[in-house]
C-alpha cells in the first residue's frame, strides 16, 4: 500500500463532528490505483482496512502506511 498523492485534506475546527484530519487520497496497492476517503487514520480499499500515520506535521502531512 502506498499513498500516491493527497487530493484533499481538512483539519477540523470548532463546530465540526471530526476530531482527526480527514479528506481524500490517491493510493496504489498491487498495481491498482484508487481514490479513497480517509478519516481517523484509516482507509478501506477493496473491503480491507489499512491504517496509516502522519510522519509530517499537521499542516504539511506525509502519510506512511503501517505494516500488519
Q: How far is CA 53 from the centre of its chain?
A: 8
Cα dihedral value 34, 66, 18, 27, nearest 10: -10
Q: Where are the domains of the chain?
A: 2-65
Q: pTM of the full predicted structure? A: 0.84
Q: How confident is the model over 5-56, as pLDDT tens digits?
A: 999 999 888 777 788 899 999 999 999 999 999 988 999 999 999 999 999 9
Amino acid at each position: 500500500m502506498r499513498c500516491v498523492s493527497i487530493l484533499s485534506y481538512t483539519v477540523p475546527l470548532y463546530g465540526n463532528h471530526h476530531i482527526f484530519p480527514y479528506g481524500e487520497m490517491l493510493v496504489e496497492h498491487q498495481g491498482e490505483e484508487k481514490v479513497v476517503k480517509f478519516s481517523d487514520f484509516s482507509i478501506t480499499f477493496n473491503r480491507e482496512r489499512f491504517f496509516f500515520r502522519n510522519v509530517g506535521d499537521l499542516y504539511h502531512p506525509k502519510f506512511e502506511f503501517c505494516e500488519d
